[in-house]
């Protein structure tokens, strides 16, 4: 590590002499100074890629909810359900409703699920290096997408799964509410990204990367934006500390991965975590010191279902409410997930066990503080 | 019951001994003439004239004289660009332009001479002195002795230091910074509703008075040790104590019913800062509470600071204060004035008009509360850019219970602003023939507006 | 080492020449009557009743004179609304103390019957708490009326504690509590026939408020009662005990809070669009940071006062991390930190607190910062802005594009009449321009490079670090501390007779290695501190000596608009 110092000094000297460097932003100055240590970032944006350009329609229609599926049964008990809810008896109310496959997917047979079959341009990465088509056949066969620059082979099977769910579509519930970074800014947890320079410069070189979940909500300013340069503590549970993985910065673009990462997601009634396998990062490091780009990787199939359906208020399971709100049936989703899975085939059965997913993220500089617990994985 | 003016004729504890037994204070108690003034005028409910109220309304950093001062005097004057906002209430107001704080060797203390010169009757000689108590204190010494509060000070900028009301520099009456705080102080515990069907005096009041009387009677021991200026400060302490005693005494008697009085709902403050929208909002809330406080005769003297001396107001989204703009903003070549700074002048006039309208919205007697008020609006400077104390802006609102004409524009043609102060005092019934210090001394009120 | 030796020799010589005598035997100035500050009030309640009692209420604003609220305290009285607040607070506190939850723990005795009067217990309550609140043993005149009133109340209400509450309330609204008065007796000397000496009890109060910002503790009161403070040995013993106490930090804190005008934090407004990370907690943290820094350096580590201007290490808390751009490990509380090496940040002048306080809502203000440094740290008065300056020639040139504060102020230093004042304030204020309106480090403003070099009274500096070093070496800085600390201690400006004392204090301060506790000791044990002259009579009208320093936001005339002075500079005395 001791070649860092002279490089840092050279940088500083260069900064002093160079006309343009005298107008360096604070962040560049600080970044240069802390080169020997990690550069930390805290996410202030996390949203699924929602394709908007090209063929985004669902000609066969959109998925229905349990409420629509069971409409007669719902009608029969609706009054009583409402009465019990109003009395505060949530559990009693939910008891009356037809079988809850969100709590137990085996509770009803597969009612079917409409997958997305369109061909819009999609932001994402070619995770497997293959331009896959469904026609090619095989257990995990699927159609890749193209991105707006024409690059093919973009893997985004999660959209095949959710693209005909009304709440996930452009201008749907998720787009309108959550894409304003609701969860992070609503005192949900956030994700921390750490870069350590291995060689080269902060704008051109090799880095070691790590992802963590934060110990708690982020600090916001009076405009409700995430404060930069704040000290963010890492979550004490090492489950949410990724391994160190390699990365490269070239012309201000960071590419890193692959890594398996479990990242906690906790806001309001939701307390869960994502499990991404072979996750990759491709993001721009901007002149103001912030980062903006994509996380793309394979979302573990079991985790998808758990993640989307495990929603609790107190002892009451609200997965069905979430599904009703977004516009799908848990039973249908449960059986559709293996059908779209395109990653990590089971060695025995050949069934793919993960679904390619794309997340847009942005992050502002932060100081990452490791927590002080006995369980902590020793960090060098 | 015999009672001498110094207040010590009645042994307070003797008086209390008879009533502390928990026996309710009966309305049959002799009416202590402490509740009457020297002329023995009865209170409003018994058919006598409604009380007159006096107040000051202060806005910082003045105006642009050429755009503010009306061009002709008398009743037939046209609204100038900076007076446009007062249009709905002009009939209730007088514009007094051209009155100045005259200086002869005293330095023009920026943002100080204009206000304390006008309110105290003479240009302050040093940065730490004034030539006398402010106008409102003089008036409250006469008309404020019978009410629960001698006077009420409020600041829409939410800062207790934003007050121009003082007896001297050691005793500046702090301003109430919060609309809710103002409301609670007036209508919270301790408020006796004049129109309440039942009246049960709170026995705690007697206890509180008893605690105070122990202190009041110990005065001489401490006074002995002090020099004259410290004794004067101790005097002020005991005046303040006496004021509280008086408040408590009032709480022992059922107040006479007042038709105009009604208890408002508690307000919710807007953000406490100097952003114009929050200031305007908090100002409006305070004005409403004040209007009803006056109608319920909780006080007869008030001081409202809309913006402070060297106005720290800011427009939403702007980083420059009104004051900074008056000095730094270039004069627009076409318009001939500083556009952003002048926005605040208009806002001040707007707020002033709203204030007057709020007083006018309370029916009282045959007319409104405003008819029985005399409010003096003023600023510490005319042209803020140069800190000019020549031709200071003065406006009155209200008829002072019939004592004041309204709707007029009077020009002082450069005479001392003490003429304004003298007029205010005379309109409020003070027995004063001349007022002011040195070159600002005058014996000529503005007779055009006095009935 | 050599430096110290030279100083010591010089001091010894001076003493031999008898120049010291005039200092040590100076009689103090006029007696003072000072109103308690809200912090002092709270400390008094805590001393009397412990910290389980809450003080809730609003205190009247204080008055600042010559840069110190401590001087204003000798000036202010109590207004009606101020008294209302005191009475409400007193009632509330007395109510807590006599409440069923607390009465057993807090009262020194319980009545024979809780539903009737008990004069013996009432008296004990009054004497116990009265001694602490009034800072002296109680006399019959303090006690008897209160016992009587309490007895009447207890009987009438059938509640002993109602009577006790009344008695305690009346103690806390008494002027003897709210004001501390120097009581002095004649003690003439042949060359000082008007000389007075403070009574021991008065001296005890004056000492404890100076060193601890609170009333005397029982040990000090007892020593005063025994007459021990009249004897220099006895006085020194108490002073040394007090300097070793944990409360010394409170006293030092109170002084710097005062001279740094930190009460202005209460009214601090910032434009949230420019500084979205600024809020009340951040401001409070910045305030606390500087005060902790002073205490850490001057009290805990027995540091040299001058080093506060150069010390890079400072206490840090998480909220301030983003402002200084450094990580803060502790989730709560404070840890020592060093700003990043590439920020020219060292010493007091570079703290976020001053950057925040002496700025406009939306940008920094070199002039406000310069005025603060001159007046509070160098004791140099900056003349008031004259009223009638014409700005048109400055603001009319709309073609000029001013990106940095230096540009904006440069225009005004071209005018000789403006430069006269601004040459004092702006060059040093501009030295702090790397710190924006909330104290973040920056190298550019509006994309133009910031030049923070300048000249401090003949000594060149390139940035805030060097400016701090220049302050550390300026004799004016330590002389100013001596003067201000003395004034703070006695509650008024020094008299002519006390000037030699101040000079001597400066010398011993230097000889001690600029140890502030040692300076406090020298002040506390000086003749002048325990002697006095008769109360001042009001001065005749034309008193131009006193002038309130102008580093407050109402006189932002000093900013950007350069104003000529007609009266010329007046040296602060």
* Predicted pLDDT of residue C391: 60
Question: Does C404 score more than 60 pLDDT?
Answer: yes
The C-alpha atoms of residue C410 and residue C11 are separated, in whole angstroms, by 44
For chain C, say whether A367 makes contact (Cβ under 8 Å). Answer: yes
Q: What is the pLDDT of residues A168-196, one digit of tens each?
A: 999 888 888 765 556 777 777 899 999 99
Residue A159 to residue A136: CA distance in whole angstroms: 20
Are the beta carbons of B113 and B158 closer than 8 angstroms? no
Q: Tokens standing for B281? A: 């909002």
Query: Are A156 and A49 spatial neighbours (Cβ–Cβ below 8 Å)?
Result: yes
Residues C378-384: what's their mean pLDDT? 90
Is A33–C342 a contact, with Cβ atoms under 8 angstroms apart?
A: yes
Which of A184 and B394 is assigned the larger pLDDT? B394
Cα–Cα distance, A159 to A176 (Å, whole number): 17
Q: How far apart are CA C312 and CA A41, in angstroms?
A: 27
Q: Which helix (H) or strand (E) holds A195?
A: strand A189-201
Q: What percent of chain C has pLDDT over 70?
A: 87
Preceding omega of A258 cis (within 30 degrees of 0): yes
pLDDT at res. C563: 28
Of all residues in chain C, the percent with pLDDT exceeding 90 is: 74
Q: Does residue B321 contact residue B327 with C-beta atoms inside 8 Å?
A: no
Q: Is the pLDDT of residue C397 over 90?
A: no
Contact C327 A368 (CB under 8 A): yes
In Å, what is the CA distance from B103 to each residue of B109, B132, B416? 11, 16, 10
Integer angstrom CA distances of residue A216 from A62, A368, B35, C203: 37, 13, 63, 54
- Residues C179-225 have pLDDT tens digits of 999 999 999 999 888 899 999 999 999 999 999 999 999 999 999 99
Find chain A residues with C-beta within 8 A of C272's C-beta: 222-223
Average pLDDT in chain B: 87
What's the confidence (pLDDT) of residue B48? 56
Task: State the pLDDT at residue C562.
Answer: 28
Residue A81 CB: number of other CB atoms within 10 A?
17
Query: Which stretches of chain A are DSSP H helices?
Result: 4-17, 26-33, 66-69, 71-86, 90-96, 157-162, 173-177, 182-185, 301-309, 319-326, 330-340
| Structure token pair of residue C371 | 């005025």
Q: Which residue has the tokens 């802006």?
A: B393
Provide the pLDDT for residue C538: 59
Is the ipTM beyond the 0.95 threshold?
Answer: no
Between C13 and C567, the more confident residue is: C13
pLDDT tops 50 at residue A267: yes
Count of CB contacts below 8 A, B vs C? 244
* Residue the block writes with tokens 């360096």: A24
Q: Which residues, in sequence order, are CB contacts of C266 under 8 Å at separation 6+?
A: none
Q: What is the pLDDT of residues C279-296, one digit of tens each?
A: 999 999 999 999 999 999
A36 at C interface, C-beta within 8 A? no
Cβ burial of C34 (10 Å; 0-12, 13-18, 19+) is buried
**Distance (Å, whole) CA B433 – CA B14:** 42
Is the predicted pLDDT of residue C543 greater than 80, yes or no?
no
Compute the distance between CA of residue C363 and CA of residue A254 in angstroms, rounded to an integer.
35
- Mean pLDDT calculated for residue range B112-131: 94
Q: How confident is the model over A77-101, as pLDDT tens digits?
A: 888 888 888 888 888 888 888 888 9
Task: Look at the block and give the residue holding tokens 């580590």.
Answer: C301
What percentage of chain A reaches a pLDDT higher than 90?
Answer: 56
Whether A21 and chain C come into contact, CB under 8 Å, resolves to: no
Each residue of C10-54: pLDDT tens digit? 545 444 444 444 456 788 888 889 999 999 999 999 999 999 999
What are the tens digits of pLDDT across the range A109-154? 999 999 999 999 999 999 999 999 988 888 899 999 999 999 999 9
The predicted pLDDT at position C365 comes to 93
Taking an 8 Å cut-off on Cβ atoms, the answer to whether C443 and A22 are in contact is yes
- pLDDT in the model for residue C2: 56
Does A3 score more than 50 pLDDT? Answer: no
Spatial separation of the C-alpha atoms in residues C315 and C320, rounded to whole Å: 10
pLDDT at B40: 33
Give the DSSP H/E element, type plus range, for residue A232.
Answer: strand A230-233
Residues in B touching C274 (Cβ below 8 Å): 319
CB C535 within 8 A of CB B228: yes
How far lies C1's CA from each of A167, B299, B370, C310, C477, in Å? 77, 69, 77, 19, 21
Is the per-residue pLDDT at C535 higher than 50? yes
The pLDDT value given to residue A127: 95
Q: How many CB atoms lie within 10 A of CB C264?
A: 16
Question: Beta strands A253-267 and A245-250: pairing type?
Answer: antiparallel
pLDDT score, position C18 = 42
List, in order, residues 6 or more apart from C289 with CB less than 8 Å away: C314, C315, C316, C317, C320, C334, C351, C352, C353
Name the residue facing A23 among C278, C326, C447 (closest C-beta). C447
Lowest pLDDT segment from B13-22, B240-249, C168-177, C366-375 = B13-22
Q: Is B328 on the interface with C (CB under 8 A)?
A: yes
pLDDT of B227 reads 86
Q: Which residue has the higher pLDDT, B8 or B214?
A: B214
Q: Do C327 and A30 touch (CB under 8 A)?
A: no
Average predicted confidence (pLDDT) for chain A: 85
What is the total residue count of chain C? 573
Assess whether pLDDT exceeds 90 at residue B203: no
Matching residue, tokens 């969860």? A183
Lowest model confidence (mean pLDDT) among A255-259, A343-347, C228-232, C268-272:
C268-272
DSSP C555: G
Nearest CA in chain B to C361: B319
The more confident residue out of C387 and B60 is B60
User: What does the pLDDT read at residue B13?
Assistant: 42
Q: Is the pLDDT of residue B173 over 90?
A: yes
Please give the pLDDT value at position C395. 56
Single out the residue of C544, C565, C567, C568 nearest to residue C386, CA to CA: C565
Chain B, 127 to 166: residues with Cβ < 8 Å from chain C are 127-129, 149-151, 153, 159-161
Give the span between the Cα atoms of A329 and A110, in whole angstroms: 9
| Residue that wins the pLDDT comparison between B352 and A375 | B352
Q: Measured between CB atoms, does A4 come within 8 Å of chain C? A: no
- At B83, the pLDDT band (50, 70, 90 cuts) reads very high
pLDDT for position C434: 96
Q: Specify the range with the lowest mean pLDDT, choosing from B197-201, C101-105, C394-398, C506-510.
A: C394-398
Report whether pLDDT(C418) > 70: yes
Cα A256 from chain centroid? 16
Q: Is A97 exposed, middle or buried (0-12, 13-18, 19+ CB in 10 A)?
A: middle
Select the residue from A30, A231, A290 to test the C interface by mutation, using most C Cβ atoms within 10 A. Answer: A231
- In this structure, of B273-277, B298-302, B330-334, C381-385, the range with the lowest mean pLDDT score is C381-385
Q: How confident is the model at residue A5 (pLDDT cuts 50, 70, 90)?
A: very low
Q: How far is CA B147 from CA A201, B152, C532, in A?
A: 76, 11, 43
| Residue C6 pLDDT | 54
- At C272 the pLDDT is 84
pLDDT classification of A10: cutoffs 50, 70, 90: very low
Short-list B369, B378, B311, B370, CA closest to B135? B378
Please report which confidence band the pLDDT of residue B7 belongs to, taking 50, 70 and 90 as the band edges: very low
B442 close to C (CB below 8 A): no
pLDDT band, very low/low/confident/very high, at C399 (cuts 50, 70, 90): low
Q: What is the largest CA-CA distance in chain B?
A: 78
Q: Which chains touch B (3 or more CB pairs under 8 A)?
A: C
For residue B269, CA distances in Å to A53, B180, B276, B279 come to 48, 6, 14, 10
DSSP string, B64-111: -HHHHS-SS-BS--PPPGGGGGGGGGGGGEEEEEEEB---SSS---TT
Question: What pLDDT, in 10s, does the model give residues C138-163?
Answer: 999 999 999 999 999 999 999 999 99
- Tell me whether A62 touches chain C (CB under 8 Å): no
pLDDT tens-digit readout, A277-314? 999 999 999 999 999 999 999 999 999 999 888 887 77
Name the band, by pLDDT with cuts 50, 70 and 90, for residue A15: very low
**Given CB atoms, is B408 within the 8 Å cutoff of chain C?**
no
Beta-strand relationship, A230-233 and A245-250: unpaired
Residue B72, classified by CB atoms within 10 Å of its CB into exposed (0-12), middle (13-18) or buried (19+), is: exposed
Contacts of residue C19, defined as CB under 8 A and 6 or more positions apart, other chains included, come to C500, C504
Q: Is the pLDDT of residue A17 over 70?
A: no
């Amino acid at each position: 590590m001791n070649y860092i110092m002279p490089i840092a000094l050279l940088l500083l000297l260069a900064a002093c002499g160079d006309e343009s460097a005298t107008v360096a932003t604070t962040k560049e100055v600080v970044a240069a100074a802390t080169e020997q240590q990690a550069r930390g970032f805290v996410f202030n944006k996390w949203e699924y890629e929602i394709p908007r350009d090209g063929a985004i329609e669902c000609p066969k229609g959109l998925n229905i909810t349990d409420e629509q599926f069971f409409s007669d049964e719902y009608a029969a008990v609706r009054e009583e359900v409402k009465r019990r809810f109003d009395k505060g008896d949530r559990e009693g109310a939910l008891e009356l409703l037809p079988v809850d496959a969100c709590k137990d997917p085996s509770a009803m047979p597969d009612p079917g699920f409409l997958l997305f079959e369109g061909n819009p341009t999609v932001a994402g990465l070619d995770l497997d290096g293959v331009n896959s088509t469904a026609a090619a056949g095989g257990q995990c066969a699927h159609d890749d997408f193209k991105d707006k620059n024409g690059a093919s082979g973009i893997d985004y099977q999660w959209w095949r799964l959710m693209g005909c769910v009304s709440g996930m579509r452009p201008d749907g519930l998720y787009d309108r509410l959550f894409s304003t970074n609701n969860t992070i800014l609503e005192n949900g947890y956030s994700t921390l990204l750490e870069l350590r320079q291995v060689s080269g410069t902060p704008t051109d070189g090799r880095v070691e990367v790590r992802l963590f979940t934060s110990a708690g909500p982020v600090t916001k300013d009076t405009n409700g934006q995430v404060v930069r340069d704040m000290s963010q503590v890492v979550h004490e549970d090492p489950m949410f500390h990724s391994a160190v993985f390699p990365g490269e910065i070239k012309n201000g673009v960071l590419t890193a991965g692959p890594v398996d990462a479990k990242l906690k997601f906790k806001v309001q009634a939701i307390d869960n975590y994502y499990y991404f396998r072979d996750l990759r990062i491709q993001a721009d490091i901007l002149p103001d010191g912030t980062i903006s780009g994509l996380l793309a990787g394979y979302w573990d199939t079991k985790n998808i279902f758990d993640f989307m359906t495990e929603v609790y208020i107190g002892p009451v399971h609200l997965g069905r409410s979430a599904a009703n709100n977004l516009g799908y049936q848990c039973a249908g989703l449960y059986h559709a997930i293996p059908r779209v899975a395109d990653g990590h085939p089971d060695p025995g059965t050949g069934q793919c066990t993960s679904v390619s997913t794309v997340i847009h993220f942005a992050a502002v500089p932060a100081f990452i503080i490791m927590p002080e617990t006995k369980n902590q994985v020793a960090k060098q | 019951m015999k009672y001498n003016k110094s207040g010590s004729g009645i042994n307070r504890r003797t008086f209390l001994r008879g009533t502390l037994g928990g026996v309710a204070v009966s309305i049959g108690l002799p009416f202590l003439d402490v509740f009457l003034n020297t002329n023995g005028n009865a209170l409003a409910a018994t058919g006598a004239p409604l009380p007159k109220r006096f107040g000051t309304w202060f806005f910082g950093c003045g105006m642009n004289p050429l755009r503010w001062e009306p061009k002709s005097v008398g009743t037939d004057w046209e609204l100038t660009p900076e007076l446009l906002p007062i249009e709905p209430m002009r009939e209730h107001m007088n514009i007094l332009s051209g009155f100045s704080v005259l200086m002869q060797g005293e330095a023009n203390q920026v943002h100080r001479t204009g206000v304390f010169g006008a309110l105290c009757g003479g240009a302050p000689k040093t940065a730490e002195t004034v030539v006398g108590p402010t106008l409102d204190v003089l008036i409250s010494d006469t008309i404020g002795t019978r009410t629960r509060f001698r006077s009420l000070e409020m600041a829409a900028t939410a800062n207790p230091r934003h007050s121009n009301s003082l007896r001297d520099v050691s005793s500046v009456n702090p301003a109430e910074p919060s609309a809710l705080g103002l409301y609670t102080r007036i209508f919270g515990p301790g408020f006796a509703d004049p129109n309440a069907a039942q009246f049960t005096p709170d026995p705690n009041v007697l206890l509180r008075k008893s605690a105070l009387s122990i202190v009041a009677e110990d005065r001489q021991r401490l006074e002995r040790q002090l020099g004259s200026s410290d004794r004067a400060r101790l005097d002020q302490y005991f005046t303040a104590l006496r004021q509280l005693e008086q408040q408590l005494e009032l709480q022992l008697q059922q107040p006479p019913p007042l038709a105009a009085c009604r208890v408002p709902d508690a307000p919710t403050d807007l953000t406490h800062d100097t952003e114009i929208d929050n200031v305007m909002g908090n100002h409006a809330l305070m004005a409403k509470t004040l209007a009803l406080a006056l109608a319920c005769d909780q006080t007869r003297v008030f001081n409202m600071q809309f913006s402070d001396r060297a106005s720290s107001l800011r427009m939403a989204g702007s980083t420059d204060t009104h004051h900074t703009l008056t000095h730094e903003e270039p004069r627009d070549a076409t318009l001939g004035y500083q556009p952003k700074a002048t926005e605040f002048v208009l806002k001040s006039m707007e707020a002033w008009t709203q204030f007057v309208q709020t007083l006018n919205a309370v029916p009282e007697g045959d007319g409104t509360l405003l008819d029985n008020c005399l409010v003096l609006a003023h600023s510490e400077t005319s042209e803020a850019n140069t800190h000019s104390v020549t031709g200071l802006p003065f406006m009155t609102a209200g008829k002072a219970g019939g004592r004041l004409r309204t709707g007029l524009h009077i020009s002082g043609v450069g005479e001392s602003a003490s003429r304004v102060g003298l007029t205010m005092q005379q309109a409020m019934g003070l027995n004063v023939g001349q007022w002011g210090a040195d070159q600002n001394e005058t014996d000529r009120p503005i007779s055009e507006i006095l009935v | 080492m050599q430096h110290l030796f030279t100083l010591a020799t010089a001091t010894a010589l001076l003493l031999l020449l008898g120049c010291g005598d005039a200092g040590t035997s100076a009689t103090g100035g006029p007696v003072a009557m000072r109103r308690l500050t809200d912090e002092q009030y709270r400390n008094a309640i805590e001393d009397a009743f412990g910290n389980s009692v809450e003080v809730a209420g609003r205190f009247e604003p204080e008055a600042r004179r010559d840069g110190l609220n401590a001087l204003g305290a000798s000036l202010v009285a109590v207004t009606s609304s101020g008294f209302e607040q005191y009475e409400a607070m007193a009632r509330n506190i007395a109510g807590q103390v006599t409440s069923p939850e607390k009465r057993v723990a807090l009262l020194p005795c319980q009545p024979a019957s809780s539903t009737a009067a008990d004069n013996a217990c009432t008296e004990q309550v009054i004497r116990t708490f009265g001694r602490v609140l009034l800072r002296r043993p109680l006399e019959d005149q303090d006690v008897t009326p209160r016992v009587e009133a309490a007895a009447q109340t207890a009987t009438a209400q059938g509640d002993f504690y109602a009577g006790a509450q009344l008695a305690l309330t009346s103690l806390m609204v008494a002027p003897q509590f709210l004001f501390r008065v120097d009581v002095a007796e004649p003690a003439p000397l042949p060359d000082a026939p008007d000389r007075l000496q403070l009574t021991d009890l008065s001296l005890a109060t004056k000492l404890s408020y100076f060193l601890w910002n609170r009333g005397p503790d029982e040990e000090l009161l007892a020593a005063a009662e025994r007459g021990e403070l009249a004897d220099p040995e006895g006085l020194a013993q108490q002073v040394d005990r007090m300097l070793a106490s944990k409360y010394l930090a409170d006293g030092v804190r109170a002084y710097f809070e005062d001279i740094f005008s930190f009460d202005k934090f209460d009214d601090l407004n910032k434009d949230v669009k420019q500084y979205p990370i600024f809020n009340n907690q951040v401001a409070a943290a910045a305030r606390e940071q500087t005060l902790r820094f002073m205490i850490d350096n001057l009290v805990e580590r027995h540091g040299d006062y001058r080093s506060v201007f150069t010390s890079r290490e400072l206490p840090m808390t998480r909220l301030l991390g983003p402002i200084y751009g450094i990580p803060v490990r502790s989730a709560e509380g404070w840890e020592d930190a060093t700003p990043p090496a590439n920020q020219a940040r060292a010493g007091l002048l570079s703290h976020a607190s001053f950057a925040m306080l002496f700025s406009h809502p939306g940008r920094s203000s070199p002039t406000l910062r310069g005025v603060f440094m001159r007046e509070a740290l160098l004791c140099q008065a900056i003349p008031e802005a004259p009223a009638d300056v014409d700005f048109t020639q400055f603001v009319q040139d709309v073609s000029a594009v001013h990106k940095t504060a230096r540009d904006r102020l440069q225009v005004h230093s071209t005018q000789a009449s403006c430069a006269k004042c601004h040459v004092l304030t702006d060059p040093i204020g501009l030295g702090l321009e790397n710190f924006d309106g909330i104290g973040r480090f920056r190298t550019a403003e509006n994309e133009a490079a910031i030049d923070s070099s300048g000249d401090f009274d003949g000594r060149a500096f390139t940035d805030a670090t060097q400016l701090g070093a220049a302050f550390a070496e300026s004799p004016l800085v330590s002389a100013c501390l001596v003067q201000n600390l003395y004034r703070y201690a006695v509650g008024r400006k020094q008299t002519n007779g006390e000037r030699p004392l101040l000079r001597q204090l400066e010398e011993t301060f230097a000889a001690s290695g600029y140890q502030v506790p040692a300076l406090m000791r020298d002040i506390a044990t000086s003749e002048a501190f325990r002697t006095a002259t008769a109360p001042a009579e009001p001065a005749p009208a034309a008193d131009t000596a006193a002038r309130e320093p102008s580093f407050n936001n109402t006189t932002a005339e000093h900013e950007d608009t350069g104003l000529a002075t007609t009266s010329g500079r007046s040296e602060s005395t």
